[in-house]
A and B are shown apart, each in its own frame.
Chain A
């Protein structure tokens, strides 16, 4: 009878649970998990005469800090469909990318232009499956063979079909502009102006939204993505000549020079990688 020698097994794949106990201990001792990077946002969409106009601000927040001053919240779904996203930035990014790829595959399979309801159904069934844990609130708009469409999608998977829609923390400020000024049969210029006004209401009245206005105009056969359509918050305080700091500008009060230790001691230890 030969005893099998105990050797370390080669590591397989799979989740390593080594740190779970330490994480639990940290949480129990009062560690605050860093907050999710949310987009604290104003996103809007409206239907006008020939198509839809989507708008968004460009501020991404991490709790009270502005993480990205000029992020892109209007995501590409297909050449004729775009989607604005509010909520957790990673969720909106991932879910719109995923559905965009699914639409591309569908286009190859059918040989036809994607329809807005297809994107809508793919999004809502994914979000419903995750029961609201995928925190993505979206404004989906586009023009296909059946005409212009505008929908809102909520994190739990319900949808609305509307002539004008707003989402995000600045949605009330933007909605007040839409409710008082929207009418049927707007022209392209009127539509863009109204969207920009609604986003500006969100930027200036909501703390979670800010920086610039992005606009996307989708009509039959043509889409225009107007990145940074308006920049209502310019930096006005930079010196155009640049800053120079000459030697002697900062007063030196005292000087102390400490030599770094020249001797370095090494100790022999077993090579951990060997085994």
Chain B
């Protein structure tokens, strides 16, 4: 029983999110237990997401007659550079939900990993039941809040929409764990520029065409007034029949106001 190796679970695992164990040889055991389990924990380095690097801008979504419609642009900005122009920021989760994300793109990819795993395990039960948007939202909320409590947030604002058993659902959750549901939602700049329009013009019984027109109105304002948005949008819809994520397209912009012609004619030094 001389050089037996013994492993001891430690509290470091709590911080990192997965179990961490250490191996020691027999003669070092006493010293090891003293250091690891009885004395205070020395934390040397923790890597947390403090600043986002590659980010997506707003997502807007609303309920309409047949389900939920969601839209975003396809830009991934690296600070002030427009680095990626074809980022899909809206994805499907299972049969009943679509999720749109703004904020750090890598953290969104991590979230998709968690959600795909969740759906997979659910499918493996093969019990005829499938996770709906409410359940996915709750799961996501727990993940986001627990990460925030460990000072290692997933730097995103997410919008989840779906239809299950005829019930439409639209909710949001963000990096500090704030979550709520509403008939129409937006993240980031969308809250300031798109929500006012939706608050005055949204109705319960919009048809798909009317809903697309309303969403395009909001997307156009965001295109004019949000510096990190681009003229390439994706619209996704989810109904009881299923999910459709449309291919990207552009909106027509108007720059022909007469006041934009020669603005400093009357006043020297104006733009």
- What residues of chain A have their CB less than 8 Å away from a CB belonging to chain B? 47, 116-117, 120-121, 124, 146, 149-151, 158-163, 172-173, 175-177, 179-180, 184, 197, 201, 204-205
Listed by A's residue number, 19 A-B pairs whose Cβ atoms lie within 8 Å are: A116-B266, A117-B267, A161-B259, A161-B263, A161-B267, A172-B193, A172-B225, A173-B196, A175-B221, A175-B225, A176-B225, A177-B197, A179-B224, A180-B197, A180-B217, A180-B221, A197-B200, A201-B200, A205-B199
- Chain A residues positioned under 8 Å from B217 (CB to CB): 180
Query: Is B196 within 8 A of A179, CB to CB?
Result: no
Task: List residues of B (160-215) whose CB comes within 8 Å of A's CBs.
Answer: 189, 192-197, 199-200
Besides the known contacts A151-B267, A159-B267, 5 further A-B residue pairs in the complex with CB atoms under 8 A apart: A173-B193, A176-B197, A177-B196, A201-B196, A205-B195
Q: Most chain-A Cβ atoms within 10 A of its Cβ — which of B199, B263, B270?
A: B270
Task: Say yes or no: A179 contacts B225, CB within 8 Å.
Answer: yes
- Asked whether, in the complex, the Cβ of B264 is within 8 Å of the Cβ of A163, the reply is no
Minimum Cβ distance to chain A for residue B271 (Å)? 5
Q: CA–CA, A159 to B268, complex, Å? A: 10
A160 vs B269: C-alpha distance when bound (angstroms): 9
Task: Quote the shortest CB–CB distance from B257 to chain A (angstroms).
Answer: 5
Q: In the complex, what residues of B have CB within 8 A of residue A120's CB?
A: 267, 270
User: Taking beta carbons and an 8 Å cutoff, which residues of B are in contact with A?
Assistant: 189, 192-197, 199-200, 217-218, 220-221, 224-225, 257-260, 263-264, 266-267, 269-271
Query: Quick check: A175 and B193 within 8 Å, CB to CB?
Result: yes
The answer to whether B267 and A163 have CB atoms under 8 Å apart is: no
Contact status B193-A176, CB under 8 Å: yes
A121: min CB distance to chain B, Å: 7
* Residues on A with beta carbons closer than 8 Å to the beta carbon of B194: 176
A180 to chain B, nearest CB (A): 5
CA of A47 to CA of B258 in the docked complex: distance in angstroms? 11
A195 to B196 alpha-carbon distance, docked (Å): 15
Complex Cα distance, B259 from A176, in Å, reads 19
Nearest CB of chain B from residue A270's CB, rounded to whole Å = 64
B91 to chain A, nearest CB (A): 27
Contact of B259 among A117, A124, A163 (CB under 8 A): A163
A158 to B192, CA, bound (A): 24
Contacts of B189 in A (CB 8 A): 172
Task: Select A163's contact among B195, B258, B269, beta carbons within 8 Å.
Answer: B258
A185 to chain B, nearest CB (A): 9
**Of B218, B220, B257, B266, the contact of A149 (CB 8 Å cutoff):** B266
What 7 A-B pairs have minimum CB-CB distances, sorted nearest first?
A163-B259, A172-B192, A161-B263, A173-B196, A205-B196, A201-B196, A179-B221
Cα A158 to Cα B268 in complex, Å, equals 11
Contact, CB under 8 Å: A179 / B220 = yes
A252-B194 Cα distance, complex, nearest whole Å = 56
Which of chain A's residues have a CB closer than 8 A to the CB of B218? 176
Cα distance, A144 to B210, chains bound together (Å): 43
Structural contact, B270 and A151, CB atoms closer than 8 A: yes
**B195 contacts across to A, CB distance below 8 A:** 205
- Known interface pairs A151-B270, A159-B269, A161-B267. Does A176 touch B196 (Cβ–Cβ under 8 Å)? yes
**Smallest Cβ distance from A206 to chain B, in angstroms?**
9
